[in-house]
């Protein structure tokens, strides 16, 4: 069966510090991968998606970047965090040839102080 992991679960970072969030998927090959941000009590904002290694599409221009160094690894990064980067970050995967269901990871709670 497929599983998706995210870490860390919680992160408190000062403004201006770098960020690296990691997401890995097990049990599937060539998945589509997605990064979302969810503000408190709000919906899901798609940040980046990837259909293959090294292929990254950005949905919203901002202080973040994403990379996909391996088939089942997706990384969200920032060189200098802003207060507005605080939120709940979710990684999701979808089978490249399957139905439209996305499967979400447990999320990372980021607080920028």
Partner 1 sequence: QQQVKQSPQSLIVQKGGISIINCAYENTAFDYFPWYQQFPGKGPALLIAIRPDVSEKKEGRFTISFNKSAKQFSLHIMDSQPGDSATYFCAASMETNAGKSTFGDGTTLTVKP
**Residue 102 interacting with partner 1 (CB under 8 A):** yes
Long-range CB contacts (within 8 A, 24+) of 2-6:
2/26, 2/27, 2/28, 2/93, 2/103, 3/27, 4/91, 4/92, 4/93, 4/103, 4/104, 4/105, 5/105, 5/106, 6/89, 6/90, 6/91, 6/105, 6/106, 6/107, 6/108
* Subset of residues 11 to 30 that bind partner 1, contact rule: CB under 8 A: none
Q: Which of 47, 64, 76, 92 touches partner 1 (CB under 8 A)?
A: 92
Q: Contact positions toward partner 1, by CB under 8 A?
A: 32, 34, 41-44, 46, 49, 51, 57, 90, 92, 94, 96, 99-107, 109
């Amino acid at each position: 069966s497929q599983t998706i992991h995210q870490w860390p679960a919680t992160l408190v970072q000062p403004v201006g510090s770098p960020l690296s969030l990691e997401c890995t998927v097990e049990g599937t090959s060539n998945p589509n991968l997605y990064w979302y941000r969810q503000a408190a009590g709000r919906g899901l904002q798609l940040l980046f998606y990837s259909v293959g290694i090294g292929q990254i599409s950005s949905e919203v221009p901002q202080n973040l970047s994403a990379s996909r160094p391996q088939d089942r690894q997706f990384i969200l990064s920032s060189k200098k965090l802003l207060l507005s980067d605080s939120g709940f970050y979710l990684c999701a995967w979808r089978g490249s040839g399957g139905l439209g269901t996305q499967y979400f990871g447990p999320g990372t709670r980021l607080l920028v102080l």
